[in-house]
Structure 1
């Protein structure tokens, strides 16, 4: 039976793409619904997913997330359709507005109107998925109907998931996407934001129950709960303080403004120990699952119990060794 769980592979912790595929096989053996992986400045995740598609049979594959500046909309559509064919229809395309650092310092584009660019990217991808000639007149993209996808298109093209945080971005997700993959939300924060998703679905004439909601929750099951707690604390603090402006803003708006200010002040000095010290237990307990296997299962269930949530996307914590990851996956497989 497929679990209401996905698992995120940390690609930077593998020395060879084959290791990523090995982790995906483990996820499949445990019954996880999807295996996903992020892309920043490391390996090209489209290539990794090709290897994963060949090495697995039943587990879904996805990415967290492609930047709308890193690839053209047409190339994103080609990539998605290729992975769809390679995997026998198991692929979901993950997109997100990205961040100023990745957009400007890696891809070399100004970070301007990210929601509009994301919306137009989705529009163009969906048009490519139809197999018709590409004709579009947007603010970022214009096509005159000269070309179309040069392969047969499937009747069931890949779903498009968005990783968004703020009210307007989540409303856009509800209007135009097939899935929502939020991160660093409390259970109550998810409930509040799901109203934005539902409003967007209503504006788009869509059924919100057909949008797959899979919040990403960092998980660390261990026989040493104190170690799991402190490792998780360090990672949550780093995500809040160092991963661009949006995660911290979102966490602050969920009632942790003082903690976010303290974490960011420590990051300004690049003091990672002080960042972790500034991350209170209340924040950690609200957004992450750590401790004994039973503790982790209980926290993950609290997210699955949120009405509108379809699955939890379990992410590992930096500093976990191979034994930690296997224990965590096994713990979640018993949920």
Structure 2
């Protein structure tokens, strides 16, 4: 999985996609924050690969309408020959409201309405819909190609919603021992987890790992998630630091145990072992995500060439 925070050129994305396929990986996912469009990157990868499963992890549901998402999903499904998964999420207020300038309102309801409308668009029948956010009239998707749908979920309500309306649930920053508590909620949906990694163990690598977790710790949703995993004091300290605009303070609040539990910091063997542990507790797919903080390209190369 290539994070949306990592600044890689589109040409380099194409080259990495080909290398990932050559190395025998099953899938390649693209994140999106405030740099490059994940759908466009997936399209580039679709054009230069033949078998690699492709997906977005994730596109937020606030800045594109369900109709736009349906067109995007259909186009990429067509382009890839059915290899595309449309991964959606609610992102964070700092990205949706702060960067895009769109009100961050009722994320659970927004996701529910988006998923219901996508189902209608991908029925390829004409329909009317009256919702709280969207009310399309006499709408029909003419491009008859549909992707799989995945939803990024942190809390039980979003996990349950995803299990009802999507093909796949994507967890993020979940310790192995906590996965078993939420897997029953995924029901028939495929369960997956995003696993960040820094393939090194020196001080610079530790700093990069802490910066990644501090970045997520700026979000109230992730702070609550971290607290639910037993990191209440760390989560509170990170939020307080971000309120003071103290980025270094937020990093200092990240403990060694947080790094060890929530991601991988170390060598490829440690990464392989963690992936195996996730599979053993019932996770179907692990989205290995080289950390975009620190040596992003070096992390990618280490995973792609040595895993």
**Fold match by TM threshold 0.5:** yes
**CA drift at 1:266:** 2.4
Q: Give 1:258-277 correspondences, 5 Å limit.
A: 258-277=233-252
1:2-36 CA-to-partner distances (Å, cap 9, x unmatched) read xxxxx33556421x311111121121122222211
Within 2, Cα distance between the matches of 1:264 and 1:11? Answer: 20
- 8 Å CA contact 1:34–1:59 kept in 2: the answer is yes
- Could you tell me which of 214, 218, 232 is aligned with 2:209? 232
**CA drift at 1:217:** 0.8
Range with bigger deviation, 164-173 or 95-104: 95-104
Task: Tell whether 2:190 aligns with 1:216.
Answer: no
1:67-118 CA-to-partner distances (Å, cap 9, x unmatched) read 2221111110011000001001110001112222222233333222111111
Q: Give 1:179-218 correspondences, 5 Å limit.
A: 179-198=168-187, 208=188, 211-218=189-196
Partner of 1:134: 127
Gaps of at least 5 residues in structure 2 are none
1:24-49 CA-to-partner distances (Å, cap 9, x unmatched) read 11211222222111222222222222
Within 2, Cα distance between the matches of 1:95 and 1:215? Answer: 14
Within 2, Cα distance between the matches of 1:106 and 1:125? Answer: 25
- 8 Å CA contact 2:290–2:296 kept in 1: the answer is no
The change in CA–CA distance for 1:184 and 1:323 in structure 2 (over 3 A counts) is closer
**CA drift at 1:258:** 1.0
Task: Tell whether 2:293 aligns with 1:315.
Answer: no
Within 1, Cα distance between the matches of 2:41 and 2:233? Answer: 40
Within 2, Cα distance between the matches of 1:139 and 1:97? Answer: 16
For 1:235, what is the secondary structure of its paired residue?
helix
Range with bigger deviation, 315-324 or 276-285: 315-324
For 2:154, what is the secondary structure of its paired residue?
coil
Partner of 1:279: 254
Within 2, Cα distance between the matches of 1:162 and 1:321? Answer: 25
Within 2, Cα distance between the matches of 1:305 and 1:228? Answer: 28
Alignment size in residue pairs: 306
1:136-192 CA-to-partner distances (Å, cap 9, x unmatched) read 222222233x231223x14xx211100111111111111111111111111122211
- 8 Å CA contact 1:225–1:290 kept in 2: the answer is no
- Could you tell me which of 8, 13, 18 is aligned with 2:2? 8
- 8 Å CA contact 1:221–1:331 kept in 2: the answer is no
For 1:13, what is the secondary structure of its paired residue?
coil
**CA drift at 1:227:** 4.0
Question: Under a length normalisation based on structure 2, what TM-score does the superposition of the two structures give?
Answer: 0.93
The change in CA–CA distance for 1:312 and 1:273 in structure 2 (over 3 A counts) is same
- Could you tell me which of 155, 160, 165 is aligned with 2:154? 165
Partner of 1:118: 111
Partner of 2:16: 23
Partner of 2:36: 43
For 2:163, what is the secondary structure of its paired residue?
helix
- 8 Å CA contact 1:186–1:286 kept in 2: the answer is yes
Within 1, Cα distance between the matches of 2:262 and 2:195? Answer: 7
Within 2, Cα distance between the matches of 1:279 and 1:147? Answer: 48
Within 2, Cα distance between the matches of 1:180 and 1:150? Answer: 27
Q: Give 1:72-91 correspondences, 5 Å limit.
A: 72-91=65-84
Within 2, Cα distance between the matches of 1:42 and 1:190? Answer: 31
Moved over 6 A (4+): none
**CA drift at 1:300:** 2.3
Within 2, Cα distance between the matches of 1:86 and 1:272? Answer: 41
Gaps of at least 5 residues in structure 1 are 1-6, 199-207
**CA drift at 1:53:** 0.8
